[in-house]
Amino acid sequence: MQSQSVEELNASASKCRKRIVDMVYKAKSGHPGGSLSCIDILVALYKGVMRFDSNNPSWDDRDRFIMSKGHASPAVYSILREVGILQDSDLNGFRSLGSVCQGHVDRKWTEGVDFSAGSLGMGLSFGLGSALAARLDGSKRHTWVLLGDGEIQEGQIWEAAMAASHLEVSNLTAIIDKNRIQNDNFVDDQMRVGDIGSKFKSFGWNVININGHDMHEIVSALKDSKTGNGPTAIIASTVKGKGVSYMENNPAFHGAAPNDEQYALAMEELS
């Protein structure tokens, strides 16, 4: 993809936020909060940093993106629409039988999706395998894995983190969407994960801390993560439901659709 200015990236993120809310509203189900918290990161990846060709989404030597918290599928579908792989008609079928936009991302159904998600905690292991495969192929492709901060309560995450460091995998970046909320409540109330950056450092990873809604910081961190020795973790502090006042920092909108009045207000606020 052609790199774009910060202003252009922010404009794309605004359009994607509207699509996210619209998809969930029309389906009357879905996960808007964590999709809105990570969409700035996806826009920066797909339109600013990632080796990706929207005219050839199956290009063998493309970078790989893994949405490990696969319920945030509206974010993936919105950016795939933004880069021209999906159409509005695809998004309008979100979470309906036979649609290419299923509730969780699924590579069998959706062009441009590299990873089928369901149970949480698996994405970093897949990402490690993808990065190692690129090394064996002698390819420059990079693997990007987006994780939720609640998701890293899963033990498999830390097995993959330990292995990635041991194998000195430099073409792997984990991005942690630190929005502080998971399915049932705030992460600190469910199970504290503590200082995420220090944890990854203790496993031998490079760590970059950023504001996950500052496009300058996001793009800079993504680029820097490709230059270090060993794997890199980007800890992105974000706001769950970013951009919609009643969704922001509200656990109720982890997995709930807005009603008619809430939808109208969201569209007004995102305009």
Asked if the structure places residue 172 within a domain, the reply is: yes
Please give the order of strands across the beta sheet that includes 143-148. 64-67, 143-148, 172-178, 232-237, 206-211
What pTM did the predictor assign?
A: 0.97
In a domain, 174, yes or no: yes
In a domain, 98, yes or no: yes
Read off the pLDDT of each residue in 37-49 and give the average, rounded to a whole number. 97
Q: What share of the chain is helix, strand, coil (3-state, %, to 5)?
A: 45, 10, 45
Could you tell me if residue 241 is left (phi over 0), alpha (psi between -120 and 50 degrees) or otherwise beta? Answer: left
1, pLDDT greater than 90: no
Phi, psi of 137 (to 5 degrees): -80, -10
Report, as an integer, the average pLDDT of 107-134: 96
CATH code, 135: 3.40.50.970
Q: In this predicted model, what pLDDT tens digit does every residue of 194-252 receive, in sequence order? A: 999 999 999 999 999 999 999 999 999 999 999 989 999 999 999 999 999 999 999 99
Using a pLDDT cut of 70, give the percent of the chain over it. Answer: 99
1: in domain: no
44: in domain:
yes
Residue among 120, 135, 122 nearest 230 (CA): 135
Range of the domain at 205: 6-269
Number of domains in the chain: 1
